[in-house]
Amino acid sequence: MTDKKRLLIIDDEENMRHMLSVVTSKAGYQVTLAENGKQALAIQSKAPFPFILCDLKMPKMDGLTFISALNEQEEKPVVIMMSAYATIDDAVEAMKAGAYDFITKPFKTAEILLVLEKAYQHIQLRNENDQLKAQVKELQGTNSFQDIIAHSKKMRSLLRLTEKVAKYDTTVLITGESGTGKELIANGIHQNSNRKDKPFIAINCASIPENLLESEFFGYMKGAFTGADHDRKGLFEEADGGTLFLDEIGELPLGLQVKLLRVLQEKEIRPVGSVKSKKTNVRVITATARNLEKEVEEGRFREDLYYRLNVLTLQLPPLRERKEDIPHLCTHFLSILNETMGLRIESISTDAMSTLLTRDWNGNIRELKNCLERAAIVAETNQILPVDLEEPHAKSSSDEQLNEMLGTFSLKQAKVIVETKLIKKALAASNGNKSMAARMLEISYPSLLAKIKSYMV
Each domain of the chain, given as residue ranges in start order, spans 3-132, 152-317, 320-405, 410-457
On the question of pLDDT at 144 being above 50, the answer is no
How does pLDDT run across 322-376, given as a tens digit for each residue?
Answer: 999 999 899 889 988 888 888 888 889 888 999 999 999 989 998 999 999 999 9
Rg for the chain, CA atoms, rounded: 30
On the question of pLDDT at 147 being above 70, the answer is no
pLDDT-wise least confident of 5-19, 88-102, 105-119:
88-102
Specify whether the CB–CB gap between 412 and 401 falls below 8 A: no
Q: Which amino acid is at 384?
A: I
Within 8 A by CB and 6+ apart from 256, the residues are: 213, 214, 217
pLDDT-wise least confident of 41-55, 64-78, 134-148, 377-391:
134-148
3-state class percentages of the chain: helix first, strand second, coil last, to nearest 5: 55, 15, 35
Burial of 310 (0-12, 13-18, 19+ CB in 10 A): middle
Q: Identify which has the larger pLDDT, 102 or 190.
A: 190
On the question of pLDDT at 295 being above 90, the answer is yes
Q: Identify which has the larger pLDDT, 410 or 194.
A: 194
**Best CATH choice for the domain 410-457 from the list 1.10.10, 3.40.50, 1.10.260, 1.25.40:** 1.10.10
**Could you count the other beta carbons within 10 Å of the beta carbon of residue 381?**
15
On the question of pLDDT at 212 being above 60, the answer is yes
pLDDT band at 399 (very low <50, low <70, confident <90, very high): low
438 closest CA partner among 425, 420, 426: 426
The phi and psi torsions of 365 (rounded to 5 degrees) equal: -65, -35
Which pLDDT value is given to residue 141? 42
How is domain 3-132 classified at the architecture level of CATH?
3-Layer(aba) Sandwich (3.40)
Query: Which pTM does this prediction carry?
Result: 0.57
Q: Catalogue the long-range contacts made by 333-336 (C-beta closer than 8 Å, 24 or more residues apart).
A: 333/368, 333/369, 333/372, 333/373, 334/372, 334/376, 334/384, 335/133
Specify whether the CB–CB gap between 441 and 448 falls below 8 A: yes
The rounded distance, in Å, linking the Cα atoms of 365 and 155 is: 13
How does pLDDT run across 38-55, given as a tens digit for each residue?
Answer: 899 888 888 888 889 998
On the question of pLDDT at 130 being above 80, the answer is no
Helical (H) or strand (E) element with 263: helix 254-266
pLDDT band at 437 (very low <50, low <70, confident <90, very high): confident
Which pLDDT value is given to residue 57? 87
The rounded distance, in Å, linking the Cα atoms of 419 and 69 is: 35
How does pLDDT run across 223-261, given as a tens digit for each residue?
Answer: 888 888 889 999 999 999 999 999 999 999 999 999 999
Average pLDDT over residues 388-400: 60
Q: How far, rounded to the nearest angstrom, does the alpha carbon of residue 214 sit from its chain's CA centroid?
A: 39
- In CATH terms, the fold of domain 320-405 is Helicase, Ruva Protein; domain 3 (1.10.8)
Which pLDDT value is given to residue 246? 95
Average pLDDT over residues 112-140: 69
Q: Is 301 helix (H, G, I), strand (E, B) or coil?
A: coil
Same-fold call for 152-317 versus 410-457: no
On the question of pLDDT at 37 being above 50, the answer is yes
Which pLDDT value is given to residue 110? 84
The rounded distance, in Å, linking the Cα atoms of 319 and 333 is: 15
Q: Is 278 helix (H, G, I), strand (E, B) or coil?
A: strand
Q: Identify which has the larger pLDDT, 452 or 180.
A: 180
Which pLDDT value is given to residue 300? 92
- Parallel, antiparallel, or unpaired for β 347-348 and 6-10? unpaired
Let me know if domain 152-317 sits in CATH 3.90.100.10: no
Determine if the peptide bond prior to 106 is cis (ω within 30°). Answer: yes
